[in-house]
Amino acid sequence: MANCFILGCERSREAAVIDPGDDSDRILMALADQKLRLTTIINTHGHFDHVGANLKLKQASGADILIHRLDAPMLQSLGSTASAFGLGVEDSPPPDRLIEEGDAIAFGEIELKVLHTPGHSPGGVSLRDDDKVFVGDTLFAGSIGRTDFPGGDFDTLITSIKTKLLVLDDTVTVFTGHGPQTTIGQERRFNPFLR
């Protein structure tokens, strides 16, 4: 039930997948339908519901797996974490690249800027492209990410949102890890957790 996003460059046909939850076959079919070549798998954080398809996508494409260094250890314990919720997930291969605040992730003519937005998890990141931002589980339409999982912290999450996301223009579209998309302006005005 996590949102997964595929971004593709029209010129080079290179693509990135952000937060491949668990439906690798569906993701690979979507890439094939659009004639896109997967080069980059970006994990906004290390929770199993956002990275469960890392292994199969890596095996199918050879794409690099990117995650923040503070969440990278989670990739090696996905199976045990998911089993606590009664689910089965394969552990991810280790990351090919550790990302940090201010890094640029480029594929074809697309470049995403990394914003470190901890709070839901220590290594949570958001990915900014001109008029859009992919926030994982940092911010939702009318809500915020949970902070009751190991490594979560409410005050840190609110600081991340206020200093990294609410400084963006009102018109920036927010693509969330669960639920519908929203805008920065909508959340600035109506999100009860941010008043």
Tell me which residue of 129, 130, 126, 128 sits closest to 161, measured CA to CA.
Answer: 126
CB atoms within 10 A of CB 110: 18
Give me the pLDDT at residue 89, please: 76
d(CA 140, CA 192): 11
How many domains does the chain fold into? Answer: 1
d(CA 143, CA 161): 11
Residue pLDDT, tens place only, 31-65 = 999 999 999 999 999 998 899 999 999 999 999 99
Q: What is the pTM of this model?
A: 0.95
Q: What is the CATH number of the domain that holds 173?
A: 3.60.15.10
Structure tokens at 83: 């089993």
Residue pLDDT, tens place only, 156-170 = 999 999 999 999 999
Mean pLDDT confidence for 120-143: 98
Beta strands across the sheet bearing 182-183: 104-107, 110-116, 125-129, 132-136, 173-176, 182-183
Query: In terms of residue numbers, what domain contains 116?
Result: 5-194
